[in-house]
A and B are shown apart, each in its own frame.
Chain A
Amino acid sequence: MRISYLSIQIIFLIGLQITSFVVLWAMAPITQSATDTFALYLSMDLVAFVILSYIYRSLRMSREPSEAWMAMGYLTLVILLVSNLALS
């Protein structure tokens, strides 16, 4: 049960990375607000990758990923997303 929950998270994070990548590819950051959006999406992309690699490293070392660290990672993603929405 726990692991399938982890699999859902992995799928979500990869989906988020693909979405942010498409947005980054498609947007033309000419204005300051577009540049900010670009930076925030890129940050989201990086943080999602960090969470994914943390999950990978934990499983490799036969440990459960720490819920506190995972929660902090998701909180960072939410803050970045809300900042993005506020900017746009």
Chain B
Amino acid sequence: MTDQAEEGGGVAETVAGWVDSRLGLSHPLLRPVPEYALNPFYWLGALAVVAFVIQGVTGMIMMLYYIPSPTQAYSSTQYIFQSVSNGRFLETVHLYTAYAMIILAFMHMMRGYFVSVQKKPREVMWVVGMLMGFITLGFGFTGYLLPWTVVSYSATHVGVGMVNALPQPVSNLLNFLIVGSGGDAGELLRFFDLHVVILPAVLLILLAVKMYMLEAHGVAEPTSGAGPEARGRTLPIFPDVTVYVLELSLLFGAGMLLISALFPLNLPAEYSAITAGQATPQPDWYFLWIYQVLKVSVFDVGGGLAAALSVVTLVFAVLVILPFIDRGKTRAISRRPVYVTLGLIFVGELVTLSYWGNVTPGETIPTEQAALVIGGTALLIALGSMLVYRLLYSRAKGHLQTVSAARLPRSEMRSGLAFTILVAVGAIAIGTLLNSIVSVALGGFSTASVGSLVASTAALSLDVLGSVYLIYRLDLRTGGIRRRVKALEVGWRGS
């Protein structure tokens, strides 16, 4: 470093030193952060908090104008849009950072899941994080009603309808908490109170608890493990880590500003009995996957809604208690194929159901179609995951090891290609088979349907046979299709 740089660094150092000495930022209240944690993936949760802060600031400004009453909620929102300086921009930033907060919280959770941060001693941190995630969804649910537009009112009442379908006394309790008995006015006021007072307060308490535990346990090491040298290379929280987080936060803020400027929000029509009759009730995108599950025709029967909600509740419950289910000690992705595949299926299903829900508003989904899409997605992801594991971690000699994809020998590429073709053919065959079954069931036997049924069954059978043969002949050591798997040979001879 030359004198000029030192001079430049000197001014910055002087400023940082002044701030530090006055505010005591480098006082060891927070533990130093390992250098390997200077990676955006380690700070997704922090960025979600930044989004929360932006929402707090924009929300407080909007609260100066907003009136939580059914007769004035829409007109006061419209006033913010049209008459307040930067009002529309403020509303747009508020909404988009709320979306960003949900996406960041989800990414934070899934990143934690894939790298197993929930394992000992961070089990309770995971549970607290999950509760924070539910609060984040609660922000979305309660905030959506506040503008009192036809879209927001209809969507919220889809959610309220779900609450009513829950068994007693849960239904009554939740109804009392979020709706009350004061009609629209009482409901709007409750949503407003929850949105601006109760949920932020609970979130801040949970954040403090989680931060305390983070300080106690420290940042989780990389899955490959951090050697003593890497563990020893730490950075003080101020100024190094603070400046790094500031950089990420400002980039995030700049991105939000840019998106808000490019795609400004439009206020939908006000809620009224007439406009409500013309609108199709549809929740906001982050609840669409739940709504899509509820629209499956199998849940149309009496008690079906409660059954569907039980399925969704089960998914959430499994996520909460995950650290107590996944008790294995290993954190390496290469050694957790089942959990990693399940995680990928979960993400795939959420994306598929959400997109599907978006393109089929208000439509009832036939059960067989739902089974095809949900099952097909899971099957494709599972097979893709198996293939990737087989290709990347195929050097099994006691344990799985990573090999660079760039160094894959030709034999492995051939195996991969063969699997890919089998997966694609299998997916098409399953789809055609189910279609044929449905057309036979609904329209009876015809030449076309029987032909399709026979052809797809034959294709699927051949595909399954081909897959089994390929797996049987695959050489685990080289990835080539040359000789039988040792384990299968032993099993065969043993029997």
Q: A-side interface residues toward B, CB under 8 Å?
A: 3-4, 6-7, 10, 28-30, 32, 35-36, 38-40, 42-43, 46-47, 49-50, 53-54, 56-57, 59-62, 76, 80
CB of A7 within 8 A of CB of B8, answer yes
For the complex, what is the distance from the CA of A49 to the CA of B251, rounded to whole Å? 9
Decide yes or no: A3 and B89 within 8 Å by CB, A50-B251, A56-B243, A61-B240 being known contacts: no
For the complex, what is the distance from the CA of A4 to the CA of B1, rounded to whole Å? 11
Q: What is the distance, in angstroms, from A12's C-beta to the closest C-beta of chain B?
A: 13
For the complex, what is the distance from the CA of A28 to the CA of B85, rounded to whole Å? 8
Q: B-side interface residues toward A, CB under 8 Å?
A: 1-2, 4-5, 8-9, 12-13, 85-86, 88-89, 239-240, 243-244, 246-247, 250-251, 253-255, 257-258, 260-262, 264
Interface of B (DSSP majority class)? helix
A–B pairs, 7, beta carbons within 8 Å:
A6-B8, A7-B4, A7-B5, A42-B257, A43-B258, A57-B244, A60-B9
CB of B1 within 8 A of CB of A47, answer no
**B5, B89, B250: which contacts A38 (Cβ < 8 A)?**
B89
For the complex, what is the distance from the CA of A35 to the CA of B12, rounded to whole Å? 33
Q: What is the distance, in angstroms, from B239's C-beta to the closest C-beta of chain A?
A: 7
Identity of the chain B residue whose Cβ is nearest the Cβ of A38 in the assembled complex? B86
B258 cross-chain contacts in A, Cβ below 8 A: 39-40, 43, 80
For the complex, what is the distance from the CA of A3 to the CA of B250, rounded to whole Å? 25
B250 cross-chain contacts in A, Cβ below 8 A: 46-47, 49-50
Question: Which 9 pairs from chain A and chain B are nearest by CB?
Answer: A39-B261, A43-B254, A46-B254, A36-B261, A46-B250, A39-B257, A3-B2, A3-B5, A43-B257
For the complex, what is the distance from the CA of A38 to the CA of B258, rounded to whole Å? 10
CB of B247 within 8 A of CB of A54, answer yes
Task: Given A56-B9, A57-B247, output 16 extra A-B contacts at Cβ < 8 Å.
Answer: A4-B4, A7-B4, A28-B85, A29-B85, A32-B88, A38-B86, A38-B89, A39-B260, A40-B261, A43-B255, A46-B253, A53-B243, A53-B247, A57-B240, A60-B9, A60-B239
Identity of the chain A residue whose Cβ is nearest the Cβ of B248 in the assembled complex? A50
For the complex, what is the distance from the CA of A61 to the CA of B244, rounded to whole Å? 12
Counting chain B CB atoms within 10 Å of each CB, which of A7, A30, A46, A76 scores highest? A46
A60 cross-chain contacts in B, Cβ below 8 A: 9, 12-13, 239-240
